[in-house]
C-alpha cells in the first residue's frame, strides 16, 4: 500500500473532531449518534495515520 498524503489524515481528524464536538453539544436534540460517529471517525483516521510515514 502506498503512502497517504498528510492532508487527508488531517482532514479526517478535523472532521471527526468537529462531528464529535457538534454531537456532544447537540446531544439533547439529536441523540448520541453523531457523537459516536465522530469518535469512530477519529479512530479510523488514527488507524490510517501510520500510512503517512510508511516507506513505499
Q: Please count the structural domains in the chain.
A: 1
Which residues form the domain of 22? 6-51
- pLDDT tens per residue, range 12-38: 999 999 999 999 999 999 999 999 999
Contact 30, 39 (CB under 8 A): no
Residue 23 lies in a domain: yes
Cell of 8: 487527508
The answer as to whether 16 is a domain residue is: yes
- H or E segment to which residue 24 belongs: helix 6-25
Tell me what the mean pLDDT of segment 38-52 comes to. Answer: 91
User: What percentage of the chain exceeds 90 in pLDDT?
Assistant: 66
Q: Is residue 46 part of a domain?
A: yes
Global pTM value: 0.81
List pLDDT tens digits, range 2-19: 788 899 999 999 999 999
Cβ pair 39, 16 in contact under 8 A: yes
Within a domain: residue 47? Answer: yes
Q: Contact, 37 vs 49, CB < 8 A?
A: no
Q: Does the pLDDT value for residue 55 go beyond 80?
A: no
Amino acid at each position: 500500500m502506498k503512502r497517504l498524503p498528510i492532508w487527508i489524515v488531517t482532514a479526517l481528524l478535523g472532521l471527526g473532531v468537529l462531528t464529535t464536538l457538534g454531537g456532544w453539544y447537540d446531544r439533547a436534540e439529536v441523540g448520541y449518534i453523531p457523537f459516536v460517529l465522530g469518535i469512530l471517525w477519529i479512530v479510523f483516521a488514527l488507524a490510517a495515520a501510520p500510512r503517512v510515514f510508511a516507506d513505499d
